[in-house]
Structure 1
């Protein structure tokens, strides 16, 4: 008996020893497939040895479950994307409203200065008119006392002798000429005073209208910013909730199809879409249509360094400008820092270059730059409608290598970021 068992074992060893390497690999593949299939339906390798291959029904059920999980991941990802789009829209509306307020406020300041100048001119014209009128009255009084207001014939007839006659004739001629000059000056000054007064009145009315409009746009801008911040808070809460759900669904999907397959499926559900850089795109038309020249690289670097010195400074809604960081307005009252256009205005003020305060005005004022010709220091702009410069809502400083320096949004700080081509409308060169 012992001899027979030994013979059987030897025969088995010979059979295995005679197995070719390719046969071994094929066997290993079959084993691997069996184990993978077992894992797909939630079985352990130990159970897989007892169940070499799951049934078609089990495979079908596992696939259906994976598809359901994948669909749920897609739904949750879609909700996150929609919430983010809503937030981006709210922020853009807020910034456009802020830009409108800043433009209106700037126009109000200019109108106020012009109205003050017009009022001063009107006061001076009125004073000049009073002086001329006094001179006219004085001339009339002297003429009467000297008898030169008599009719020419009477003055000549009453002359005592030919010498007096000649003298009176000369006086009458001179008096008539002088009287015409005095009356002419008064008439001109009356017209000038009336015109100056009308300009002054119109200026006061314009100032009042602009002030009212500025106050109204500030209310709209503040409401838009409050809404944007409410959307941001809502998104933060919703994002946390959805990301927890996503993690649960992704773990379930991974348990059904494996780690790599789950990752592949997730990539199909939520593909990463990055807007490509526009090739030689011309900036949208607005204001200054002059193509930018080479500019001044040294001044551009000065501006970049000035802005970079404030990295980490808080974003302040409406804050900052030529003189550096400033206090925010409305919802950011008490926050000392920069908004996007306040930062760019300050940076170029440090380089000795004056640009407007708000982003739309900056874009309108600057010579334009093609996307293929961007240089460090250029200002890049974003809009909700890339064909309409009136929808510009953000500006940053181009650093090169697809990097920008910006004051991005509420809750953030001045920082360096990757360039975003989605919503890019064009660029301008302050140093050109």
Structure 2
């Protein structure tokens, strides 16, 4: 259609404003489905990250509130200690002013009938002086404790306010990310329906039922747990036991091995230690981004099973299965969670 239009323009002596190179070819349904699935995967990851961040902020808020409550108790105790110490100091000051218990050492000498009596009186006055010094030291310590309690309370209040503000922002971010994800899911499902019935049927069939073994221990336990879920349906943000998204599957599998992972491929990429593709062992996690090489653009994770393959939960319309680690071609790296 575009070429016929350009030929007509040339015949009429009209210069075309848009070059042929800008003409868009018809959309390939499979390519469209894969592209929309990748975009939905990114939206899913954005949502999961925001949810994880919110949980962390809420935990920080709980801790700050607990610290604030403890600091308030310390403030009350410190205030009581200050009042008691101040009363003791005031009492000794009054006694000294009235010439009571703090009489001078000279008057003790003048009133002593014997050397022994003098020594006894001087010893008693030393005890009183020690008590006076103790009262002053107690007051000083109580005032310092009160200052520290006030500082702790202020710091806890500031941390709580920061955590509350961050939680509020993340709550709004989650709402927006959820709306974006829901819109992307609708697009993916429409694209899925544009595929041929034969293609959809093939995508909904488990193709690899082979056995794979990992190193003894947690890695192999996680691997077998993931392989046991072949045939499970994909569901956005799901983490089992019958439906999964990509990071939900790896999280569920490693939980079966007693290891806790966050429900986010981007966050899982920060765990364990990096391994090169040539060093991969069954149980390692393999990650995929948008081709930019940027970890913040990671949108998919699978678990290596050996022989250049991984078990993963790909996207809407596909089942948990074993497939090539080539994935969408945007392999960014791998992590060994144990060992």
Which TM class, normalised by the smaller chain length?
Answer: 0.7 to 0.9
Name stretches of at least 5 consecutive residues in structure 2 with no aligned partner: 1-23, 113-117, 200-213
Q: Which has the larger radius of gyration?
A: 1
Aligned match of 1:236 in 152, 168, 192?
Answer: 192
**Counterpart secondary structure, 1:416:** strand
**Counterpart secondary structure, 1:365:** coil
Residues 102 and 357 in structure 1, CA contact (< 8 A), matched pair in contact too: no
Aligned match of 1:298 in 201, 217, 221?
Answer: 217
Corresponding position of 2:42: 93
Residues 125 and 192 in structure 1, CA contact (< 8 A), matched pair in contact too: no
Tell me by how many angstroms 1:405 deviates: 1.6
Residues 1:376 and 1:211: Cα distance change in structure 2 (over 3 Å): same
Corresponding position of 1:226: 182
Corresponding position of 2:288: 382
Residues 1:149 and 1:174: Cα distance change in structure 2 (over 3 Å): farther
Corresponding position of 1:84: 33
Tell me by how many angstroms 1:410 deviates: 3.8
Residues 1:398 and 1:108: Cα distance change in structure 2 (over 3 Å): same
Structure 2 CA distance for aligned equivalents of residues 389 and 102 of structure 1: 18
1:159-198 superposed matches below 5 A: 161-162=111-112, 163=118, 166=122, 169-198=125-154
Residues 1:411 and 1:297: Cα distance change in structure 2 (over 3 Å): same
Deviation string, structure 1 residues 243-264 (Cα, Å, up to 9, x no partner): 9xxxxxxxxxxxxxxxxxxxxx
Corresponding position of 1:310: 229
Tell me by how many angstroms 1:150 deviates: 5.2
Deviation string, structure 1 residues 162-205 (Cα, Å, up to 9, x no partner): 45963664244213311222112112212220221122112211
Tell me by how many angstroms 1:134 deviates: 4.1
Structure 1 CA distance for aligned equivalents of residues 328 and 278 of structure 2: 13
Tell me by how many angstroms 1:307 deviates: 2.3
1:36-47 superposed matches below 5 A: none
Q: TM-score, normalised by structure 2?
A: 0.73
**Counterpart secondary structure, 2:103:** helix
The alignment status of 1:132 with 2:81, answered yes or no, reads yes
Residues 238 and 248 in structure 2, CA contact (< 8 A), matched pair in contact too: yes
Residues 1:187 and 1:137: Cα distance change in structure 2 (over 3 Å): closer
Residues 1:205 and 1:410: Cα distance change in structure 2 (over 3 Å): farther
Corresponding position of 2:271: 365
Residues 192 and 317 in structure 2, CA contact (< 8 A), matched pair in contact too: no
Tell me by how many angstroms 1:369 deviates: 0.8
The alignment status of 1:105 with 2:24, answered yes or no, reads no
Deviation string, structure 1 residues 96-133 (Cα, Å, up to 9, x no partner): 31232133124224313431442243134224313422
Residues 1:409 and 1:349: Cα distance change in structure 2 (over 3 Å): same
Residues 378 and 427 in structure 1, CA contact (< 8 A), matched pair in contact too: yes
Tell me by how many angstroms 1:390 deviates: 0.8
Residues 37 and 316 in structure 2, CA contact (< 8 A), matched pair in contact too: no
Deviation string, structure 1 residues 223-270 (Cα, Å, up to 9, x no partner): 2211212212332354459x9xxxxxxxxxxxxxxxxxxxxxxxxxxx
Deviation string, structure 1 residues 74-96 (Cα, Å, up to 9, x no partner): 944x4436523541342133123
Structure 1 CA distance for aligned equivalents of residues 158 and 282 of structure 2: 45
Q: TM-score, normalised by structure 1?
A: 0.59
**Counterpart secondary structure, 2:270:** helix
Aligned length, in residue pairs: 292
Corresponding position of 2:329: 422
Corresponding position of 1:252: none
Residues 57 and 167 in structure 2, CA contact (< 8 A), matched pair in contact too: yes
Structure having the larger proportion of residues in helix = 1
Aligned match of 2:245 in 339, 344, 354?
Answer: 339
